[in-house]
Amino acid sequence: MLSAVDPEATARAYVDMWNDREYAAIPQLVADTFVMYDPAAPAKGVAGPKGEVHGRDGLRQFMEVISTAFPDFEITVLDMVSGEDIVMYEVRLTMTHDGPLGGLPPTGREVQIRGVSILHLDAGIIREHRFHTNMNEVAPQLGLTFPQLLGQLPKLLIGKVRLSIS
């Protein structure tokens, strides 16, 4: 069990859990009533409305969605500050879109985004995670802007047909 006196250790364990896909660590790190606010959280397949993840099961579901679509997903902490019950850290996320994401077949393109996470803790357990990033940076990196999309159409259509058959 992590000590409430070291919120940075809790935050680092949480990041490691994501990077290592260590689903078994979820109950030790997050509260039953955990809520995550992330603009990437889908409306379907994850407990909570679009942009939110609710509970431990919802967190596991969201981690599985991300690691399925981006098997090499990795969080790099660039800077971290903490207080008694709060931790804020800047991150760089790197990932390659090699799996289906909602109705979008894999593009095979690499994505890098920066963001800020804010964790609110209660007795050393994460009760809330707020992730802030500019999601407008993702579509161009995936090749999903109008000029780029024209070149991707054949690949996307073939991928969509494959997804609907399986």
Q: What is the CATH number of the domain that holds 123?
A: 3.10.450.50
Would you tell me how many other CB atoms lie within 10 Å of the CB of residue 152? 18
Longest Cα–Cα distance in the chain: 54
**Sign of the dihedral defined by the CA atoms of residues 42, 53, 45, 74, in that order:** positive
Would residue 40 count as lying in a domain? Answer: yes
Rounded to an integer, what distance in angstroms lies between the CA atom of residue 7 and that of residue 4?
A: 6
The answer to whether residue 103 sits within a structural domain is: yes
Task: Classify residue 2: in a domain, yes or no.
Answer: no
pLDDT score recorded for residue 8: 96
Reported as a single tens digit per residue, the pLDDT across 117-159 is: 999 999 999 999 999 999 888 888 888 776 544 555 565 566 5
90: in domain: yes
Nearest to 8 by CA among 79, 80, 97: 80
Q: Which domain holds residue 77?
A: 7-165
CB-based contacts of 126, cutoff 8 Å, min separation 6 = 10, 14, 29, 30, 31, 34, 119, 120
**Banded pLDDT at 102 (limits 50, 70, 90):** confident
Q: How many domains, the chain?
A: 1
Q: Does any domain span residue 71?
A: yes
CA-based nearest residue to 111, from 132, 86, 142: 142
Distance CA 119, CA 84 (A): 11
Copy the structure tokens of residue 108. 């095979």
1 in a structural domain: no
Model confidence over 56-82: pLDDT tens digits? 999 999 999 999 999 999 999 999 999
Name the residue type at position 83.
G
* Mean pLDDT to the nearest integer, 102-109: 86
Q: Mean pLDDT lowest for which of 79-88, 98-107, 122-131? A: 98-107
